[in-house]
Every structure is written in C-alpha cells, then in structure tokens.
Amino acid sequence: MGKMECVVSSVVAVLLLHTVSMTHAASTHSSTDHSQVVAEVDALRNSGWWIWSDQSESNHCNWVTITCNEGGHVTQISLGSYLAPLGELSQLNLSSLPNLNFLTLSNVGLTGSISDQIGSLTKLTNLDLSHNQLTGSIPHQIAYGYETIPEWNFPYMESE
C-alpha cells in the first residue's frame, strides 16, 4: 500500500470513528433527555392535580395549563384560579421540573408551607403563589435570591 493510500485510509478511519462517537453521544444525550421528560410527567401525574385533565392524552404538553419547550420539557404551569382546592404544595415534586420558568398557582387552595425544593428551580422568572392558605416563611433559597425572579407574589408571608 502506498503512502497516499495509507493516509486516505487513516483519514477514513478517523472520520468513521468520529461519526460513531458522535452518534453514541447524541443517543446518550437523547436517552438522558427522555428520562428527564418522563420524570417531569411523573411529577405532574403524581401530584394528583391533573386528574381532571385528559391524561389519556399521551403528550403532557397538550394538557390544559401546561406549556412545554420544543424538547417536551415543562416550562410553564399556570393553574391560577383554574380549580380548587389542590391541597399541599409539596404534592408537586418541584425538583423534577428543572426547566420551569413560570409557575402560577394563585387562588387554588394550596395549604402547607413552601418547600425548599423551590430553590432548585434555577430558571424560574415568574412565581405567583398568592391567595392561598400557605403558612410559614418564604424559604431562604428564594427570599435571598429574589432578584433572580423578576415577578413573584407571596402576600402575607415573611422571609426566613
């Protein structure tokens, strides 16, 4: 085999290896992404708040009050005055919703305290928990980081 053929063979081998590696990386990312979407759907279903919704609809992004991004991740929950009472805020596993940027649970009969899990919502830009029966203090994760949430509404509560 000549020098030129050896170089071409080496380049082809490197390109093939790169393609296989990129396909594997994309596949791994896709399965990780899919498992995150499944965790988000489980959090919604397990809360019991969407039992009135048509959960036979396989795409949670089509449920009333839920908005998703192109990847199927939940980015908005807007239950404000939609139904009541929901029960405890802790019924919704907030840490399973890392892409959430808009959360409106106004006037839906929430009780209990605001979980520290809310601090895991690093993309949150709008939070409204007003007109509920929440007790206790605003968790320090948001009380001290409220500058990162431009719009928030917690009447009648004190920060820790």
pLDDT tens digits for 89-122?
899 999 999 999 999 998 888 888 888 888 888 8
pLDDT for 30-78, tens place per residue? Answer: 667 889 999 999 999 898 887 766 556 678 998 888 999 999 999 999 9
For the domain spanning 3-159, the CATH number is 3.80.10.10
pLDDT, position 101 = 94
pLDDT, position 35 = 92
pTM over 0.75: no
User: H or E stretch including 2?
Assistant: none
pLDDT for 114-156, tens place per residue? Answer: 888 888 888 988 888 888 888 887 777 665 555 555 555 655 4
**Between the ranges 6-20, 72-86, 119-133, where is the mean pLDDT highest?**
119-133
> Mapping DSSP to helix (H, G, I), strand (E, B) and coil, where does residue 151 land?
strand
Q: Enter the tokens of residue 2.
A: 């000549």
At residue 39, what is the residue type?
A: A
- The C-alpha angle with vertex 95 and arms to 132 and 135, in degrees rounded to 5, equals 25
The whole-angstrom separation of Cα 83 and Cα 25 is: 43
Residue among 129, 102, 100 at smallest CA distance from 113 = 129
Half-sphere exposure of 67 (CA within 13 A, CB side): 10
pLDDT at 13 over 50: no
Residue among 139, 135, 129, 138 at smallest CA distance from 108 = 129
pLDDT, position 54 = 58
> Mapping DSSP to helix (H, G, I), strand (E, B) and coil, where does residue 144 land?
coil
More confidently predicted of 19 and 133: 133
